Amino acid sequence: MSLSSQKKFLIIKLSALGDIVHALPVARTLRQTYPQAHIAWMIEERYKELLHNNPDIDEIIPIRIKFWKKNWTRETLKEILHIIKNLRQQNFDVVFDLHGLIKSGVIAMLSGAHIKSGFHRKNCKEKISSIFSNKKAPYMAGGMHVIDMYLNLVQSALEIQNKVKQFPLPETRNQKVEDFFQQHPELTSKNIIGINPGAGFESKLWELERFAQLADRITVELNCSILLTWGPGEEHKTKQIAASMKQKCWVAPPTSIQESIALYKHLILLVSCDSGPLHLCAALGIPTVSIFGPTDPARNGAYGLNHQTVHKVLACSFCWKRKCPLGTNECMTQVTVDEVFESVRSNQKSNM
């Protein structure tokens, strides 16, 4: 089959929020190269609004793996079989497994696509998943950002010349968010710096007391307003920071993904650990200062210009473990308030 006839593509990137943002240039690159192609994206249902009205995507295929695992019933099995049947009826030419996991490899195989494009075995998160791909990207050494890894995978499958590093996100003016800012004129009377204390797993977290100390310094020394942002199950973190602060701050209202995007557009800078909001802000062109520990900022840091990362290189650095194997979280605790504040100050100066 010639490359020119490959007009039905399936992208498998199920989660999480930041990882999906990192994969957006894959759809943009495919659309630019094959403007008439049918491009589908399989995604966990709870993240599908991130792809809302994306001009590069013709079809969103939501699935509920997390729900299925907790609710294994006859109805669940029927739902899974229905999705598999629909996948196979699509007759995809190429499926791109951007996870390198067993579950994504199985989905790629079940799709029935002619070409199942995946990572080199050594780049797969679960190495056995490489058996499900028949078109493997070349091995990519450490130090390469995951966005470039995704694009290299696509390039190796289709021999695409031009990679398009753009991040189309939903363009929606949200009245709920606008009302929030209008109701807090003192917040908007100064430049707003956001602080997002949450992260996907425990070892990525920085101490809440340090966030409070940082927020106080930003308020006093940089004369900015502080907006504390949060995701599902994280509101208590922002309330604890607010209670520990000496200066006034504001806590963001509950927001959906699209509402969060509208909210972040009011910030001049976001301070965050390695989290979905960090990567959303980077994609929106909002400067960031991030605190990294178990994950490698060279691979998973904020992409593009006007971003600074504070991290320590230790003997155990970049272990990628959800919980610190040593029980110390030293890679995060060694990052000081002074270091993060100086990064915020220098970032703010360079963007004035």
List of domains in the chain: 3-158 (3.40.50.2000), 175-350 (3.40.50.2000)
Provide the pLDDT confidence category of residue 161 given band limits of 50, 70 and 90.
confident
pLDDT of residue 1: 39
- The per-residue pLDDT of the chain, averaged, comes to 94
Spatial neighbors of 127 by CB under 8 A, at least 6 apart, are 121
Provide the pLDDT confidence category of residue 173 given band limits of 50, 70 and 90.
confident
Q: Measured in whole angstroms, how far is the alpha carbon of residue 43 from the centre of its chain?
A: 13
Of 40, 42, 8, give the one whose Cα is nearest residue 158: 8
pLDDT of residue 352: 61
Per-residue pLDDT of 12-67, as tens digits, reads 999 999 999 999 999 999 999 999 999 999 999 999 999 999 999 999 999 999 88
273 and 297 Cβ atoms separated by less than 8 Å:
no
Residue 5 predicted with pLDDT over 70: no
Both structure tokens of 186: 């003192």
Which amino acid is it at 158? L
Q: DSSP characters for 115-141?
A: EEEE--GGG-SSGGGGGG-SEEPPP--
Q: DSSP characters for 13-79?
A: ----HHHHHHHHHHHHHHHHH-TT-EEEEEEEGGGGGGGTT-TT-SEEEEE-HHHHHH--SHHHHHH
pLDDT of residue 6: 54
Per-residue pLDDT of 54-90, as tens digits, reads 999 999 999 999 889 888 899 999 999 999 999 999 9
pLDDT of residue 178: 95
Alpha helix ranges (H) inside 169-326: 175-182, 185-188, 208-221, 235-244, 257-264, 276-284, 297-300
Task: Summarize the confidence of residues 133-146 as an average pLDDT.
Answer: 95
Per-residue pLDDT of 89-104, as tens digits, reads 999 999 999 999 999 9
β-pairing, 135-136 vs 38-44, is unpaired
pLDDT of residue 217: 98
Which amino acid is it at 338? D
Tell me if the bond preceding 113 is cis, omega within 30° of 0.
no
List the beta bridge partners of residue 11.
41, 96
Residue 250 predicted with pLDDT over 70: yes
Per-residue pLDDT of 265-322, as tens digits, reads 999 999 999 999 999 999 999 999 999 999 999 999 999 999 999 999 999 999 999 9
